[in-house]
């Protein structure tokens, strides 16, 4: 398993308490391609959707895609209700993220 800037066993989905290693393992072993498939496999992403941006990033990494971070932030920012682990991620792209309402 490839490490990213985020700790490998950090909880990614706060709603269902699913850690990064579980999500990545499901993506790799079942060759999952969508957030919905990941949610069905391990429940991650099935609650508030705040972790969708990271699940999308993990899927892209598995498929060897390189969606620009700015695109991920723009696509998923409005879904984020729980900052938690995403705080570090969003700080990196603060200038591209719209202000909270």
Question: pTM of this prediction?
Answer: 0.72
In CATH, the number for domain 11-95 is: 1.10.10.1100
pLDDT of residue 78: 77
What are the tens digits of pLDDT across the range 31-89?
Answer: 999 999 999 999 999 999 989 999 999 999 999 998 887 888 788 877 776 666 666 66
- Sorted by where each begins, the domain ranges of the chain are 11-95
SS3 of the chain: the string is CCCCCCCCCCEEECCCCEEHHHHHHHHHHHCCCCHHHHHHHHCCCCCCCCCHHHHHHHHHHHCCCCCCHHHHHHHHHHHCCCCCCHHHHHHHCHHHCCCCC
């Amino acid at each position: 398993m490839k490490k990213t800037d985020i700790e490998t066993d950090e909880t990614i989905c706060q709603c269902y308490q699913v850690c990064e290693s579980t999500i990545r393992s499901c993506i790799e072993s079942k060759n999952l391609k969508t957030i919905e498939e990941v949610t069905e496999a391990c429940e991650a992403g099935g609650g508030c959707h705040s972790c969708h941006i990271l699940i999308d990033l993990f899927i892209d990494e598995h498929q060897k895609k390189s969606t620009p971070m700015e695109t991920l932030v723009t696509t998923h920012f409005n879904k984020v209700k729980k900052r938690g682990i995403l705080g570090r991620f969003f700080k990196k792209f603060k200038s591209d993220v719209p202000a909270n309402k």
